[in-house]
Amino acid sequence: MSAALVALFAPYCQGAADPSALEQGLQLLARGHLQGQRPLRPEGQRPFELHWQPGIAPLESAQVQLSVQGQGLEQPARYSFELPTHRLLQWLMAWQAAGGAAGQPADLPEPFWQWLILGLDSQALQA
């Protein structure tokens, strides 16, 4: 991964604190897809797949598609959305930190699901 790309995204993704995590996140961003599992309460898990086409710069829009498998669904539920590439990268880095980088069934961070399902923007709430 180029040092210039790491430097470009670092201000948006706290990359100065952990440049290796940012570099790993950028490698995943370039891959364009991941598989994960969302834990269900009180028990169980729901598999999902995330595919994306990132923007070239942190503020450019990424095109994202989410497919969620579920019991009782003949076809996966599909969602398509756009968001700034740096926001997607932050969520991918959190997925990696939750075990996705080690090949474990990991979930995307809670702020992703709150943003997707409820329209809550944790960054706007903190401002």
In 3D, which of 97, 94, 93, 88 has the Cα closest to residue 116? 88
- pLDDT, tens only, 67-115: 998 766 678 889 999 999 999 999 999 999 998 878 777 999 999 999 9
Q: Is the pTM of this model over 0.75?
A: yes
Contact of 91 with 102, CB cutoff 8 Å: no
Flag whether pLDDT at 46 surpasses 50: yes
State the pLDDT confidence band at 33, using cuts at 50, 70 and 90: very high
Q: Which two tokens stand for residue 65?
A: 């598609």
Across 69-81, b (16+ Cβ under 10 Å) vs e yields: eeeeeeeeeeeee
Q: Which two tokens stand for residue 92?
A: 């991918």
The residue that leads in pLDDT, 41 or 112, is 112
In whole angstroms, how large is the CA radius of gyration of the chain?
15
Q: Look up residue 115 and give its DSSP letter.
A: I
Cα atoms in the 13 Å half-sphere on the side-chain side of 52: 29
